[in-house]
Structure 1
Amino acid sequence: MILEHALLPVKPGREEEFVAAFGEAKQIISSMPGFRTLTLSRCQERPSAFLLLVEWETLEDHTVGFRGSAEYDEWRRLLHDFYEPFPVVEHFDQVLAV
């Protein structure tokens, strides 16, 4: 299992519009091969910052399968205009769980 981490800096004033668009976009990502779970959280101290965590079966399910798909074009159309600056996406291997 791979955990994708993305801190999403949404343009101030567009937060609610982003949440609505993400509600539509989550249908896209959740239909992709290798997708396991997703959480989207909003920062209390910085309400324009959102944390996206996605579990994938493999790194390639995200980097090749999802990002290389036609569905990703729709994901990008729905969400990428909200970010300033564009988010950094990183992938993590679990080391310890309780």
Structure 2
Amino acid sequence: MILEIAMLNIRNGEHVAFEQAFETAQDIISSTPGYISHQLQRSLEAPDKYVLLVNWNRLEDHTKGFRQSIQYQEWKQLLHHFYDPFPTVEHFEIVFEGAIP
């Protein structure tokens, strides 16, 4: 499993509109082959700052399957105009995993 982490800085004061757009956009990403799950979390200290966490089966499910799809164009249209600056996106794989007993 691959974890995509995107740091999202939203233009000042547009977090409500962004969250409304994301509510629609999440249906796009969740229908992509190889998608497992996602979370959008908002900073408590800075309400215009978010982190998007998406779990994928493989790196290529995100980088090729989603990003090269027609659905990604709709995702871009819904969300990309909110970002300032454009998000940093990185991918991670599990090295160790734990849980509360």
Q: Paired residue for 1:18? A: 18
Structure showing greater radius of gyration is 2
Q: Which residue of 2 aligns with 1:43?
A: 43
Distance 2:94 2:47 in 1: 28
Instruction: Report % sequence identity.
Output: 51
Q: What SS does the corresponding residue of 1:26 show, helix, strand or coil?
A: helix
List runs of 5+ in structure 2 lacking aligned partners.
none
* Runs of 5+ unmatched residues, structure 1: none
* TM-score (normalizing by structure 1): 0.99
Instruction: Give the drift of 1:97.
Output: 1.1
Matches within 5 A, 1:74-85: 74-85=74-85
Looking at structure 1, the residues matched to 9 and 97 of structure 2 have their Cα atoms a distance apart, in angstroms, of 28
For residue 96 of structure 1, report the CA deviation from its aligned partner. 1.2
- After superposition, the CA RMSD in angstroms is 0.4
Q: What TM-score, normalized to structure 2?
A: 0.96
Runs of 4 or more, structure 1, over 4 Å off, are none
